[in-house]
Amino acid sequence: MASGQVRASHILIKHQGSRRKSSWRDPEGRVISATTRDAAVAQLQSLRDDVVSGTAKFDAVASRYSDCSSAKRGGDLGPFGRGQMQKPFEDATYALKVGEVSEIVDTDSGVHIIMRTG
């Protein structure tokens, strides 16, 4: 990784306010368009609780539930530097210690939890 870069995995849940209302899980966008932000947050909070308590592994949850194409890599986004991600996502990632899982982060893409991996 280049100096100043971080590495992270995330779980994204899209909702009706997301800028792109389709994903690999929902190509037509039917579920996403019917999902309120509150419902997306509730689902994500439940997934986060499972990860933080050790009931579920982050990468397994991401592979199954994340609306991002990174799901097939267990949510891994690879290394990135400042200015490459949406600002709220970037700020949250840089604020985490390696191995920590964020609270829920809102972006134009939807709601996320982020685990810093490097």
Catalytic residues: 10, 68, 86, 109, 112
What CA–CA distance (Å, rounded) separates 74 from 80? 17
Question: Which residues, 6+ apart, have CB-to-CB distance to 5 below 8 Å?
Answer: 79, 80, 81
95, HSE (Cβ side, Cα atoms, 13 Å): 12
- Strands of the sheet containing 105-107, edge to edge, are 76-80, 6-13, 110-116, 105-107
Measured between alpha carbons, how far is 47 from 62 in angstroms, rounded to an integer? Answer: 9
Is 114 in contact with 102 (CB distance < 8 Å)? yes
